[in-house]
A and B are shown apart, each in its own frame.
Chain A
């Protein structure tokens, strides 16, 4: 075999490519693992969620459920990798429907966040919910766009899930904005030190620029 022919044959191997669904699912799994770490960061603000709950025996059932769903079980994260490995699986479709039920539960509990005494904690909880549902919504959109290997039922479930995730994101953002406004109004009524007044102004500026996480961090420092 001459050299030219041999090189030509070697180059044929360049046509080997991975399965696109698999390629996409590995990437999303890797990057969403990091979303779990990022979303969990505000949770570090709750020094002891156990004592928080036990000190508030009058806590509304809805709020307790909300806290359970979002913080303790972390169960708003969907197993996208498992779904994409086996998109035909009925179990996966059922899991997706279960997630939709949880979303509804969270949606119904959002108003209770506004009644929480500790506004910083309420803001952080809202942020965790927002980042989680946003990631889920993004992945659901991409899977629908890819469509490869998905049953009609799975596509329908994904569409519904994406829509509801979007609704929860919008609602949570609205509630978070209302809590921010409550926070700012409360703090303006108080006699704050000069440095705390500056922090309040900084927090408001960040909030107005849409830098929610930064605003939350500054608010946390007020009064310390």
Chain B
């Protein structure tokens, strides 16, 4: 029994670690706090997995704990930071230095505006476009219908575009 649940949790960890880390890093903006938060998320989940009632949806549970830990982090007075785009390897080796700089600038810009839309919208955009969850999987996590999730994704994207379009004239001259 003990070996079974260790193996099960190990599989859950392997499946989710990249996604939870990415989610937390994009929300808190700094590597060390992100690592601490993610470690705490999995510690709490592991404890629940061993001792508590069965977790029906592990993905949903992990993100729920992650959100709570991120909220605690900001409650302690941590400042909002943005992930240095040096964390994001630019894979296009043919890109010129200028193109690479432009892309890095765009990504920083994107990150800032992503933070301006509401949390639920941020989450569905990250889950759908960054982590590749299907609308069905997101619906299960949020306990909503697939239709509702598709609408959320569409609205979230529209809102993000709107934020970026509005701010663009300001940033052009910043």
Contact = CB atoms under 8 A, between A and B. Distances in A.
Interface string B7-35: 00110011001100110011000000001
Given A10-B125, A10-B130, A15 B89 contact: yes
A23 B6 contact: no
A27 B20 CA distance: 14
Contacts of A72: none
Interface of B: 2, 6, 9-10, 13-14, 17-18, 21-22, 25-26, 35, 38-39, 42-43, 46, 50, 83, 87-89, 91, 103, 106-107, 110, 125-126, 129-132, 157, 160-161, 164-165
A34 interface: yes
B interface secondary structure, majority:
helix
B110 A18 contact: no
Contacts, number: 79
B88 A16 contact: yes
Given A17-B18, A30-B46, A9 B39 contact: no
A22 B37 CA distance: 13
Interface residues of A, number: 23
Contacts of B46: 30, 34
29 contacts: A3-B161, A6-B157, A7-B157, A9-B107, A9-B110, A10-B110, A10-B125, A10-B129, A12-B107, A13-B107, A13-B126, A13-B130, A14-B131, A14-B132, A15-B91, A16-B25, A16-B26, A16-B87, A16-B88, A17-B21, A18-B21, A26-B17, A26-B38, A26-B39, A27-B10, A30-B42, A30-B43, A31-B9, A34-B46
